[in-house]
Amino acid sequence: MILIDGKKAAAELRQELKHEVTGLKAKYNKVPGLTVILIGDLTPSQIYVRNKEKSANEVGLKSEVIKYPDSVEEKTVLEKIKELNTDETVSGILVQLPLPKHINKQKVIETILPSKDVDGFHPMNVGNLSSGYESSVPCTPLGCYLLIKKVEPNLNGKKAVIVGRSNLNGKPMTQLLLKENCTVTITHSKTKDLKAECLEADIIVAAVGIPELVKGDWVKKDTIVIDVGINKTDKGIVGDVDFDEVSKNAKALTPVPGGVGPMTIACLLKNTIECFKRTQI
C-alpha cells in the first residue's frame, strides 16, 4: 500500500512556490499578497489562520490577518472587503468560515472580487470551473487532486466516487475529476447503497464528516482513497475512512492527519500566486 505523504508533498509544493515568488519579485519588484479576515474566536479557525499566515510568510508572500470580534456588524466586513478589492497590494482575500449567524455568508463571498477569490467560492469561479474555464479552484479539492495525480498521472476513464456533496469539496472535486475524463459518481447521506457504490471505484474521495465511515470491505485492491475528514472522537482525530481496515486493502491512502490538510494550505498559497499572475501584464 502506498501511504500518500501529504506533509512531504506540501513541503515540495511550498518549495516550488517559494522559487516562483522569488522570480516574480525579480520581475515585477513586488510579491503576491494574501489577506485573511478572521471573525470571532473559534479555536479551529484561529489555528487554521495562524498556519495560513505562517506558510504564506515561509514562501515569501505578503501576508496580513484582519481580526474582528464575533459581534462585528456585517456592513463593517463588507466595507473592508470592498477596500481590499481595490488595494493593489492584495492579490487574494480569504474570509475564514464559519461566520457568526448574523453575517450572511453568500453576501460576503459575493462581495469578494472574483479575481481575488483565493477560495474559489464566488459563483463566477464556481461557474467557470464547471464550464472548464480558467478559475480559482477551492483549496481542499485542489490539494486532493494533486495528491491523486501523484499516484496516478493518467486518470482517463477511471471511476471516481465522491462521498459528500459540499460546495467546499464534493462539487468542485467532481469538476476537477471530470476534466481529467473520470466517470464521477457523487454520493451523499441519502445514497441507497454507499458500500456498493464505493466497491465500483478506482478513486474514492471521502468528505462527509462521518468518522471512519469507509470500511475495508468497501474498497477494491487497486483503489486510491483520499480522506478529507477531520473528526474529533474519543480516540483522537480520525478521518472519514477507517484507516486500519482500508490500509490493508487499498492501493494508496492518505493518513489523517498528514494527508490532505497540509496540501490545502499549500494550495491556498498557490491560488494567491495565480491570482497575482493573472493581474500582471
**CA distance linking residue 116 with residue 236, whole number of Å:** 36
Give yes or no for residue 55 binding ligand GUN (CB under 6 A).
Answer: no
Task: Mark residue 270 as left, alpha or beta (left: phi above 0; alpha: psi -120 to 50; beta: remaining).
Answer: alpha
Q: Residue 97 interacts with ligand GUN (CB under 6 A)?
A: yes
Grid coordinates representing 180 are 481529467
Smallest separation, CB 121 to ligand GUN (Å): 7
Q: Which stretch binds ligand GUN (CB under 6 A): 17-25, 89-97, 226-234, 271-279?
A: 89-97
Q: Residue 168 CB, nearest distance to ligand GUN (Å)?
A: 6
Tell me which residues in 120-179 interact with ligand GUN (CB under 6 A): 139-140
Q: Looking at 63-71, 81-89, 94-102, 235-243, which segment touches ligand GUN (CB under 6 A)?
A: 94-102
Out of 95, 144, 176, 269, point to the residue binding ligand GUN (CB under 6 A). Answer: 95
Q: Which is nearer to ligand GUN, 96 or 187 (CB)?
A: 96
Sheet holding 203-206, edge to edge: 2-3, 252-253, 224-227, 203-206, 159-163, 183-187
Provide the greatest CA pair distance for the chain: 56
- Give the whole-angstrom CA distance, residue 195 versus residue 193: 6
Among the candidate windows 71-79, 95-103, 146-154, 229-237, which touches ligand GUN by CB under 6 A?
Answer: 95-103
Footprint on residues 102-121 left by ligand GUN (CB under 6 A): 119
Size of the site for ligand GUN (CB under 6 A): 7
DSSP three-state, residue 179 = helix
Q: How far is the CB of 178 from ligand GUN (least distance, A)?
A: 21
Q: Which of 255, 156, 161 is nearest to 203 (CA)?
A: 161
For residue 69, whether the previous peptide bond is cis, meaning omega lies within 30 degrees of 0, is no
Known catalytic residues are 52, 96, 119
Binding footprint of ligand GUN on the chain (CB under 6 A): 94-97, 119, 139-140
